[in-house]
Amino acid sequence: MRALRPDQTEALDNLRTAIANNDRHIVMQAPTGYGKTVLSAALVDGARRKNKKVLFCVPAISLIDQTVEMFASQGVTDVGVIQQNHHQTDGCMPVQVASIQTLQKREMPACDVVVIDEVHRWFEPYGKWMRDPAQWLHKPVIGLSATPWHKILGVLFTKLIKASTTQELIDKGLLSDIKKGNCPSACRTSNWSLISSRRGSSRAAADLHCVLPSIALTPRNCKSSSRLAV
């Protein structure tokens, strides 16, 4: 497993301390580029070392294979998938990965710890299970998010742990600083395309409701070499 940075180790220690202090429902906030992938794997690996069963929930079926591959890349291989006709379906595995779409149609698997990825993408069944003594009320439920602004989170979660901020990552050289540039007036707003400077993945403009240094804007059909990082 990839070694954690000191700030990631501190975030994980803060999480463990919160659980030890009887905080059961916790949101871990970390900005884009922090390394939530590595942190998630370390969290699950730590639970496994204590012989705990983990349920890892994702907000879409399309994220199942990506999540399983992420765990495998970090050395977490005892993973089963709750999904029809999936080649890794195995209810005996101590780590179960499921989408909310599938989970709400199935019997809840036995687990000791629940991790909800992208918890800001809220679904009503989460609240139902978190209030149910027979389901998640007394279990550690950890929500991961860069933007935990949904109002229901303040009702159902009792603790917020801020792992880092965008500025802290910039100061440590882990993210590029914000740079401003000019573009010829011929380049109109409708011609902008979003390009991730870190992973090459496209993102919808609607998701850019806060400033993310890892996203660069480059105008289509613009001969100028100037770029805007926002």
Last residue of one domain, picked from the residues 129, 148, 167: 167
* Rg from Cα positions in the chain: 19
Low-confidence winner among 83-87, 125-129, 194-198 (lowest mean pLDDT): 194-198
Q: Per-residue confidence at 219, pLDDT binned at 50, 70, 90?
A: very low
Residues 57 and 145 in one domain: yes
Tell me the C-alpha to C-alpha distance, in Å, between residue 74 and each of 58, 127, 179, 204. 18, 30, 33, 28
pLDDT tens column, 47-98: 999 999 999 999 999 999 999 999 999 999 999 999 999 999 999 999 999 9
User: What pLDDT is attached to residue 1?
Assistant: 74
Cα distance between residue 7 and residue 115, in whole Å:
20
User: What pLDDT is attached to residue 172?
Assistant: 86
Residue 146: give the domain boundaries.
Answer: 6-167
Residues 44 and 105 in one domain: yes
Task: Identify whether 1 is part of a domain.
Answer: no
Residues 191 and 157 in one domain: no
Cα distance between residue 60 and residue 67, in whole Å:
11
User: What pLDDT is attached to residue 186?
Assistant: 52
Instruction: Give the pTM.
Output: 0.76
If phi > 0 it is left, if psi is from -120 to 50 it is alpha, else beta; for residue 221 that is left
Q: Per-residue confidence at 203, pLDDT binned at 50, 70, 90?
A: very low
Cα distance between residue 230 and residue 133, in whole Å:
44
Cα distance between residue 204 and residue 94, in whole Å:
35
Residues 11 and 41 in one domain: yes
Task: Say whether pLDDT at 103 is over 90.
Answer: yes
Average pLDDT rounded to a whole number, residues 220-227: 40
User: What pLDDT is attached to residue 176?
Assistant: 83
Task: Say whether pLDDT at 207 is over 50.
Answer: no
Q: What are phi and psi of 165, to 5 degrees?
A: -125, 165
Task: Say whether pLDDT at 201 is over 50.
Answer: no
Residues 22 and 122 in one domain: yes
Task: Identify whether 172 is part of a domain.
Answer: no
User: What pLDDT is attached to residue 177?
Assistant: 79
